[in-house]
Structure 1
Amino acid sequence: MQKIGFGGSCHWCTEAIFRSLKGVSSVDQGWIASDAENTTPSEAVIVHFDQQQISLETLVAIHLHTHSCTAEHTMRGKYRSAVYTFNDAQLNAATAAIKALQTEFEQPVITKALPFQTFKLNSENYLDYYYKDPSKPFCQNIVNPKLKALLIRFKNQVDPDKQNYIQNF
């Protein structure tokens, strides 16, 4: 089992996206910082995955296509667009994947591969936010459209049970 971090959107959205995938055993939701740029923590998740079922490159592709990876906006401090890596091999693979995926976007991808430094887990009541109650207005208006987009582009990577769940909301 490997782990990798992702940030770029609200951590409730990011958590729901990665919890929906085959090969992902768990997702920790909270705040990640990297010492590469002396960053303050921003909303992010740590994804625990089986590389035999889903590759790091596929996870990066899903990440780039499910948040605004080309948009610089005023909330980037809170929602840093990043892939947080736990070793040099991951850093190199994530950097290469981001570079290769650039051709799928009209604007420059701003997502950076950064070395992981620290993580703070969110409060228990916010963990698994979407799958605990997808009928909440935030889930319906913000998370669901991202999950529906995930199904359109990456249906083969989505766990069949989660596909049914998403399609019913």
Structure 2
Amino acid sequence: MDKIGFGGSCHWCTEAIFQSLNGVTEVMQGWISSEGKDSTFSEAVIVLFEPSRIPLEILIAIHLHTHSCTSNHSMRQKYRSAVYTFDKNQSHLAENEILNLKDDFDKPIITRVLSFKDFKLNTENYLNYYYKNPEKAFCKNFVTPKLRILLDRFADTVNFKKFRHD
């Protein structure tokens, strides 16, 4: 079992995306801080996964394609576009994969590879948010469109027993 952190959009969206994948065994949703200058907490998830079922490269590709990885908008402090790694091998792989995916996008990818420092789990009422509340307006307007991208672009990774969409 491996783990990796992802941040980029609201953690409810990111949580639902990674919960919907084969090979992902757990998604912890909350806030991550990193080593160095970006040490403030930002909305993110930690994904526990089985690399033999879903490689880290695929998880990174899914992450980049399901959030605004090229947009340096005003909410980036709260929604830092990042891959949070737990060792140097992960960092190297993540940096290479981001470079490999640059041609998929019209603008430069701003997603950074950062060393994981700390994690704060969200409160119970916000965990598993999408799958507990798929009919809420936020879920329909923000999460469901991202899940459609997942289904359209990465259908072979989707756990259809878990996945819900309109």
The match for 2:80 is: 80
Q: TM-score, normalised by structure 2?
A: 0.98
The AA in structure 2 aligned to 1:129 is Y
Amino acid aligned to 1:44: A
Cα offsets for 1:116-150 (capped at 9, x unmatched): 00000001000000001201111111100110111
Report the Cα distance in structure 2 between the residues aligned to 1:36 and 1:62, rounded to whole angstroms: 26
| SS of corresponding position for 1:78 | coil
Identity rate of aligned residues, in percent?
A: 59
The one-letter amino acid of 1:96's match is: N
After TM superposition, the runs of 4+ consecutive aligned structure 1 residues lying more than 4 A away are none
Kindly provide the amino acid, as one letter, of the partner of residue 80 in structure 1. Answer: R
Between stretches 119-128 and 32-41, larger displacement belongs to 32-41
Aligned to 2:155: 155
Distance 1:90 1:38 in 2: 18
Q: Which runs of 5+ in 2 are unaligned?
A: none
Larger relative helix fraction: 1
Q: Secondary structure at the match of 1:152?
A: helix
Q: Please give the TM-score of this superposition, normalised by the length of structure 1.
A: 0.96
Letter in 1 for 2:88: D
Query: Could you report, residue by residue, the CA deviation over 1:77-123 in whole angstroms, capped at 9, with x for unpaired residues?
Result: 00000000001100100010001111111100000111000000001
Backbone CA RMSD of aligned residues? 0.8
**What is the identity, as a one-letter code, of the residue corresponding to 2:146?**
K
1: CA distance, partners of 2:66 / 2:16: 11
User: 5+ residue gaps in structure 1?
Assistant: none
Q: How does 1:18-167 map to 2 (within 5 A)?
A: 18-163=18-163, 165-166=164-165
Measure, in 2, the Cα distance between the counterparts of 1:84 and 1:24.
16
